[in-house]
Amino acid sequence: MATPDLGLIHRFLPGAPGLPVLLLLHGTGGDEHDLLPLGEALLPGAPRLSPRGKVLENGMPRFFRRLAEGVFDLDDLRNRTHELADFLEAADKAYGLNGRKPVAVGFSNGANIAASLLLLRPGVLGGALLIRPMVPFVPESLPDLGGVLVQINAGQADPLVPPPQSEALAQLLGDAGASVRLHWVSGGHALTPEDLDAGKAWFGFSSLSPHAGRPPW
Ligand code: MLT
């Protein structure tokens, strides 16, 4: 089947109807192919929806513009966040997802737009595994994230995201009502095998998986 034009270049790989749809959001310089293997490893058989960020920084795809490292163009972030939410609504119809709320798996820049999606368009995501996110912005009023499950994988030695940023994001999302788990991995900003283990454990224990047990937190 030809990929429908939903506003963002993307790949969609259908999976088992009983599993949540994984929304895979790559880091700066990545693309729609990058996180497909991670998604399959995290929750085997889950449908995977993987868009490519539209913004180019020196030829590298991103999900929104930044003015400098860690300094975001907030107008662009807002607009791109709504664009991504609209893409998800279009994908729901195009791929017959029946209103199942996707679970975001975002790395770095992808984790930042996923966090922005939680704050600006609550109700769109059912959960999020945020790998090395920052606080994208602090909203004037808190959204209602009741029932949303979030895991933050933060790097103990991340040179881009100091520990207080990860703690502040966990606090912000928790204050908004999300069930947040802040998990520390021993590495820096790059993905490590520990991220996969911690992500698998989160999916296994959370109610996002049909094999759900009692969440460990
Ligand atoms: C961002 O711009 O979203 C963060 O600095 C992470 C990155 O992409 O390097």
CATH of the domain at 148: 3.40.50.1820
**Where are the alpha helices (H) located in the chain, listed in sequence order?**
36-42, 74-94, 109-120, 163-175, 193-205
* 122 located within any domain: yes
Give ligand 1 pocket residues (Cβ under 6 A).
27-28, 66, 69-70, 108-109, 112, 160
Name the token pair of 78.
């807002």
* 3 located within any domain: no
Domain ranges, residue 155:
10-208
* 216 located within any domain: no
197 included as an active-site residue: no
SS3 at position 194: helix
Q: Which ligand 1 atom is the nearest neighbour of the CA of 134?
A: 4
* 91 located within any domain: yes
Residue 172's Cβ-side half-sphere holds a number of Cα atoms within 13 Å equal to 23
Nearest CA to ligand 1 atom 5: 70
pTM of the model: 0.95
| Contacts (Cβ under 8 Å, ≥6 apart) of 155 | 132, 161, 184, 185, 186, 187, 188, 189
92 included as an active-site residue: no
pLDDT digits (tens, 9 = 90+) for 143-160: 999 999 999 999 999 999
> Nearest to residue 23, comparing CAs of 77, 179, 145, 6?
6
Is residue 153 within 8 A of residue 121, CB to CB? The reply is: no
Q: What is the mean pLDDT of residues 1-8?
A: 89
* 5 located within any domain: no
Residue 188, pLDDT above cutoff 50: yes
Q: Which ligand 1 atom is the nearest neighbour of the CA of 136?
A: 3
Q: Which ligand 1 atom is the nearest neighbour of the CA of 109?
A: 3
108 torsion bin: left (phi>0), alpha (psi -120 to 50), beta (else)? left
* 115 located within any domain: yes
* 94 located within any domain: yes
What is the model's pLDDT at position 22?
A: 97
Q: Residue 107 forms beta bridges with which residues?
A: 131
* Number of domains the chain is built from: 1
* 81 located within any domain: yes
Report CA(212)–ligand 1 centroid distance (Å).
Answer: 32
Is residue 104 within 8 A of residue 117, CB to CB? The reply is: yes
- Calpha distance 78→190 (Å, rounded): 26
Q: What is the mean pLDDT of residues 101-130?
A: 97
Residue 215, pLDDT above cutoff 80: no
